[in-house]
């Protein structure tokens, strides 16, 4: 069964892939209302912190006029890294839903789990594996294609 909110994040991830970025997308919702969406732009912006989660949180804060996103939910196609997880918790996001687990850099259960440490006074609810197959396939295909291109140079 497709999750409509995760599909917004997946569409963003596809935009990232088309732009040559690692295909990770994110979307923030307030109830059923889409507040913001974004995808990785580290190459385009030449900024190591231009992850989908960081960009979508910045947009949502600007749109809502508040740095506290305590009634919002974040959907992201890949389990967040430490930097993004810290920002997610600092912004007081209520719920995090992610697609694929990241066993190398994920800090919400894939490699380690910092979300249950009550860091920054956060009581975030975390749900992993949402549309996991579709999210995993998107990122796996991207890196497979990158490896093929590298061997043909």
> Per residue in 39-77, pLDDT tens?
999 999 999 999 999 999 999 999 999 999 999 999 999
Stated pTM of the model: 0.93
Q: How confident is the model at residue 78 (pLDDT cuts 50, 70, 90)?
A: very high
Q: Are 54 and 93 in contact (CB under 8 A)?
A: no
- In b/e form, how buried is each residue of 91-112, taking b as 16+ CB within 10 angstroms? bbbeebbbbbbbeeebbbbbbe
Q: Catalytic residue positions?
A: 53
Residues in the chain: 153
> Per residue in 92-113, pLDDT tens?
999 999 999 999 999 988 898 8
Whether the pLDDT of residue 23 is over 60: the answer is yes
């Amino acid at each position: 069964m497709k999750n409509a909110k995760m599909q917004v994040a997946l569409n963003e991830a596809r935009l990232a892939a088309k732009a040559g970025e690692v295909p990770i997308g994110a979307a923030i919702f307030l109830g059923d209302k889409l507040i913001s969406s974004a995808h990785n732009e580290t190459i385009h912006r030449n900024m190591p912190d231009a992850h989908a989660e960081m960009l979508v949180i910045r947009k949502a804060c600007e749109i809502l006029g508040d740095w506290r996103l305590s009634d919002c939910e974040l959907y992201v196609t890949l389990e967040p890294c430490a930097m993004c997880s810290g920002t997610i918790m600092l912004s007081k996001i209520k719920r995090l839903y992610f697609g694929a687990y990241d066993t190398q850099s994920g800090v919400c259960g894939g490699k380690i789990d910092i979300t249950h440490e009550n860091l920054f006074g956060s009581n975030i609810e975390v749900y992993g594996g949402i549309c996991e197959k579709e999210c995993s396939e998107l990122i796996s295909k991207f890196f497979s294609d990158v490896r093929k291109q590298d061997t043909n140079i």
